[in-house]
Chain A
Amino acid sequence: MMPRFQRVVSADSSAELAIQTRDLNLWYGTFQALFDVNLKIRQGIITSLIGPSGCGKSTLLRSVDRINERLGSVRIKGTIELFRQDIHAPTVSLAQLRKQVGMVFQRPNPLPISIRENVLFGYRIHHEKGGRIARSEADGIVEEALRQVLLWDQVKDRLDHKATVGLSLEEMQKLCIARLLPVKPLILLMDEPCSALDPRGTAAVEELIWELRGRYSILIVTHNMAQARRASDECIFMLMGRVVEHAPTDQLFVVPAHRETADYIEGRYG
């Protein structure tokens, strides 16, 4: 599959921004979860979000594709822009937004349909002709997506099996990544994608995420500091709903600019 956007990571700080937030405040009912978040997340790299539980990192991630609005009681002030378009503009269609922004959840959540149909699900719902596509085209899409997530060889003989049974958690999580690819998203959001996996699965999925780097802008929430350190280009440290520090990963872990960051990465709390 030829990704639409294939840009080399540039060291130039003026490289195009994938996500930009301005004075983002977010409330769940009366509880304020985000305070004045201003972020510029560059395109084509992996950015990790770290911080102790309840610091708002998942909330921030789930605001980018507006999936947290499912909860109903969410209120937002400030803006989030993807490629300089405001995602809360009244003309924005959620379907289009979520086509551009794929999401991987903490627990692998394949749909209770066949592996093949899982991969095709997003493609079908965004397809103009009501999802009716030729068998050969569908086969090509499925194989390409599963090959990209390094899952093709394991599942090629059981594409018609139900995806919710008989797959390991690691395979399910890879499938959940694979089903995002046919709709050609620009941004991938990952909410602790490895926290349900064993160390081997974690290594495999991390390797996959690293493979996808460059073709997609990836924002990944993680609890695991070692993971953030080895698998991201830039790192954002959040605390109590605020962004404390946003820096290249090497720099943040070696010479953190803030006392709170240093304490957290040394494991004094969190």
Chain B
Amino acid sequence: MTNSHPVSGSPDKEPATEPALAEAAGADRATTMTAPRRPEEPRPSLGRLFLDNLWAANTVTVTVLSLLLAMLIGAILIIVSDPEVLATYGYLTARPADAVTSSWAVVSEAYANLFKGAVFDPEASGFTAALSPISETLTYTAPLVFTGLSVALAFRGGLFNIGAQGQATIGVILAAVAGFALPLPPVVHLLVALLAGAVGGAVWGFVPGILKARAGAHEVINTIMLNYVAVYFLSWIIVQSGVQSPGRADAISKPVDPSAQLPRLLGDNLRVHAGILLAVLATWFVAWLLNRSTLGFELRAVGANPDAARTAGISITKTYVLVMVIAGVLAGLGGSQMVLGTTATALTPLVVAQIGFDGILVALLGRVKPWGVLLAALLFGALQAGGNRMQSYSGISLELVTVLQALIVIFIAAPALVKAIFQLRAARAARLQTSLAKGW
């Protein structure tokens, strides 16, 4: 919520146990409130605080350990799915070294390729090759930031937006149509196409928003249903004349004009495009909206306690509708990038991939905080980019990446589990859990 860290900067201070709180309240009673802060025990050094918090179950620690646990399980899956390595376990008792070395070889090679594909390849020579992994990662990251923000924003407003996928789908359709049907000059064309994508998402967010606000229809059900409508609308519109690419029999639309495409950032050989800049801008905007705007205040109040918000004169109807419209705009922009960026230039039935659903995971992994979402999207983007290389170099199926993503989120959603496995000191874990369990 707000930057509610006490001056001492120790996150451990806030979630005190009940008796401690009572004691603190009692202690405060003794001092007058005019004194800014009562004298405290000498402040521990920054290094000490860091060490103390490292093993406490705080957000970062839990996230890193979840990643580790997921990779551990992933390693087991890699071993099990490789028949040659599995064969060495057949004579484990006779020559255990075989099993260990072959397992290590296959797992380390897989993860090395994951890293090389996502971050940096030390063997790469030349500017383009060295930057290629990062470029790939950012290309995958950009749309995920948008859909992640869409889900996170709705979540803070008390709504579970499962519909980012549908909103992104309608967004991509409108953006693509605007991109190839309107003859406009370069910069204007891109802006119009993005706007079209945003409007598409907004409409698809507005519908469940108004249904929730006026009729009390549950947004989870409505957004899921609208996802289907959007997906089949996409399959239908691709093959309509005027949309379908002339001379093609399969489901593919005309390509978006170059004038409507997002500019590439690092030359023609690298895929990273201006979408990632928009993503950072959007993150900043959502962070401002949530914490520094009156609308964000209403949204958080409605999300946390609709009754109190209503009693304080905040219109719940208006807030729900606005939240869903803004969430839709974000998802729609994310979808637009799938044709305006470098991933594809034409509509196909699978053009939006899974960005809407991945957005839910990104939002949860990012603890429904804007900058957290950006980091989570970066991780997911890196896993995707690295997964591609892992598949082509190590022959490990890309689905392993999906499994890793799912496992990470499961561990994040069950901080108690991570805590128990690593025997962490209890700190903020309980809070995490409630923050994720709430939307229902």
Pair from one complex: no
Q: Which residue numbers of A lie inside 8 Å of B, CB to CB?
A: none
- Residue positions of B touching A, CB distance < 8 A: none
